[in-house]
Amino acid sequence: MICVEGIDGSGKSTQLLLLERWLRARGYPVHFTEWNSSRLVRRSMQRGKKKNLLTPTTFSLLHAVDFADRLTYQILPPLKAGMIVLADRYVYTAFARDVARGVHPDWVRSVYSPALRPDLTLYFRVPIDISLERLLSGRAKLKYHEAGMDVGLSADPVESFRMFQSRVLEIYDQLTTEFGMRPIDATAEIPNQQRVVRTMVQEILRDYDLNRANGKNGAASQPR
Amino acid sequence: MAPHRSHAKAWYGHGLPYIAKKRLPGHLIAIEGTDGVGRSAQIELLRPWLELEGYAVSNTGWTRSPLLSETINEAKAGHQLTVTTFSLLYAADFADRLEHEILPALQAGFIVIADRYMYTAFARNSVMGADPDWTREVFGMALVPDLVLYLDIDVESLIPRVIMGKGMDYWESGMHLALGTDLFDSFERYQSRLIDEYRRLSSEFGFVSVDARLPIEELQGELRKHIAEYLSGANGKPRPESGDNGVSRKE
């Protein structure tokens, strides 16, 4: 179980895609899963976002429903089958963003306690200005929740993004130590970052390779 | 019940830390009880009585949030969720109603009557094998009700009521637990486990238990009596008459 974390515009999805390509080319069975992607809560999420009905707590719980559903269908079965699961964002996203929105840190940890601890969490660390630059060059506008507009820090989306994502960044830094996330300098050139990523992944795949050679399932995570 | 019970509201766990503390002069009354026990019929009769007594009433009910009710119905139609996922959906529904219905109404001084409360999740999850501590932590954002009225019934008395009412349904019979292939047998087993769990919760959380086998008017009289007692204790006001509105009260 390998996951990537980082604020919007940190480049984590790009890095995960490159990692997936590499793993597949080397013949590993890989399954990819993404934060907030299950069909189950899509309608509630759209409705809540469009009509601005979401509170920090319902925002958090809807993502938890999505996660629980993906844990059942997207994460546990491939792990049990000995596959490598790649997750674009994991529970740490909730621990950082939801707490930045105001929910209690212990509460959100309880909500996500059915989750497995990943074998490797890569944290793509980037200063706010660089992530902003990346996001704004790709599309004209920042998304409402991405900019934390719901928190009401500023009426200006860019300023709101800066303030909200700074909070998120600060919490991510604390989580890095708490959960042993591996920080990666997300300001570096893309291929250089990918080299670091692949080295880290290779390390944790040593046991997995050994087990596969012995005909056992891969190094599936144990519940914590 | 103690006549001069303290009227301070309390969160069940961590609550909603981002919400500024506001005075909540209203009253939160939860009606609990298993499927088909007659909660909604009783709630329908409570409202006009309370309004006649001069109280503004707001109703809220399990899975009725605008944000999630459709999603929950769809999920049930698909029969594909685990108990964990369901619990979180119910918690999201609850939180939505808590923040958009219950808290604003309490702030405005209404009596909020909740058709089911977090105890329903506690009871169901225990029966379905979810970690009870986890369920309670998730509902830590809840406000503790001022009064919980529990409509108590035994499964033998419940069965004819449900059959003569809307019939046994898949979920209320616990068919998702695969206790058996027969709907009736499964209903009986699932509901007796649920009722056992509700009774355990009743003593743990100090519900006011009323005998739901009573005829509808008598049961209503009992509920009014307990609500009136609570309100007089909370307000220090004289008890509202509980025999109005065509519903007789027998003791």
Question: In this predicted model, what pLDDT tens digit does every residue of A50-79 receive, in sequence order?
Answer: 888 899 999 999 999 999 999 999 999 999
Distance from C-alpha of B223 to C-alpha of B229, rounded to nearest angstrom: 10
Predicted pLDDT at B7: 62
Closest-CA residue of A relative to B74 is: A40
CA B163/CA B181 separation, integer angstroms: 18
β strands within B47-183, DSSP E: 57-61, 111-115, 147-152
Is residue A26 predicted with pLDDT exceeding 90? yes
Per-residue model confidence (pLDDT) at position A106: 97
The interface pTM score, or ipTM, of the predicted complex is 0.84
- Look at B85 and A113 and tell me if their CB atoms are within 8 Å: no
Inter-chain Cβ pairs, chain A and chain B, closer than 8 A: 89
Question: Can you tell me the distance from the alpha carbon of A200 to that of A123, in angstroms, rounded to the nearest whole number?
Answer: 12
- pLDDT, greater one: A147 or B178: A147
Whether A148 contacts chain B with CB within 8 A: no
- The reported pLDDT for the residue numbered A154 is 92
- Whether the CB-CB separation of B140 and B134 falls below 8 Å is answered with no
Torsion sign across C-alpha atoms A101, A105, A108, A112: positive
- pLDDT (0 to 100) of residue B243: 46
- B118 DSSP assignment: H
Burial class from Cβ neighbours inside 10 Å (0-12, 13-18, 19+) for residue A92 reads buried
Instruction: Count Cβ atoms below 10 Å from residue A143 Cβ, excluding itself.
Output: 13
pLDDT at A224: 39
Q: Which residue has the higher pLDDT, B200 or A212?
A: B200
Q: How confident is the model at residue A189 (pLDDT cuts 50, 70, 90)?
A: very high
Residue A101 vs residue A222, higher pLDDT: A101
Span A80-91, pLDDT tens digits: 999 999 999 999
Q: Can you tell me which residue has the tokens 């399954």?
A: A31
Q: Is the separation of the CB atoms in A121 and A182 below 8 Å?
A: yes
- pLDDT of A101: 96
**What values do phi and psi take at B54, rounded to 5?**
100, 10
Question: pLDDT higher for B30 or A45?
Answer: B30
Please tell me the predicted confidence (pLDDT) of residue B242. 53
Whole-prediction pTM: 0.87
- DSSP readout, B3-30? TT------BSSS--TTSPP----SEEEE
Name the residue in chain B with its Cα closest to that of A60. Answer: B92
> What confidence score (pLDDT) does residue A182 get?
97
Residues (pLDDT < 70) of chain B are: 1-7, 79, 237-251
Inter-CA distances, A4 with A156, A193, B79, B168, Å: 29, 13, 32, 47
**Does A96 score more than 50 pLDDT?**
yes
Q: Can you give the pLDDT at residue B48?
A: 96
pLDDT of residue B246: 39
Is B195 in CB contact (< 8 Å) with chain A? no
Q: Is B246 left (phi over 0), alpha (psi -120 to 50) or beta?
A: left
- Percent residues over pLDDT 90 in chain B: 67
Neighbours of A27 (CB within 10 A): 8
CA distance B75 to chain A (A): 7
Considering only the beta carbons, identify the residue of A68, A107, A114 that sits closest to B140: A107
The mean pLDDT value of chain B amounts to 88
Query: What value, to the nearest 5°, has the Cα angle with vertex B91 and ends B85 and B92?
Result: 90
What is the rounded average pLDDT of the residues A25-41? 93
Query: Which residue among A69, A72, A110 sits closest to B137, beta carbon to beta carbon?
Result: A110
Interface probe for A, chosen from B11, B70, B81, B84 (most Cβ of A below 10 Å), is: B84
Q: For residue A2, is pLDDT > 50?
A: yes
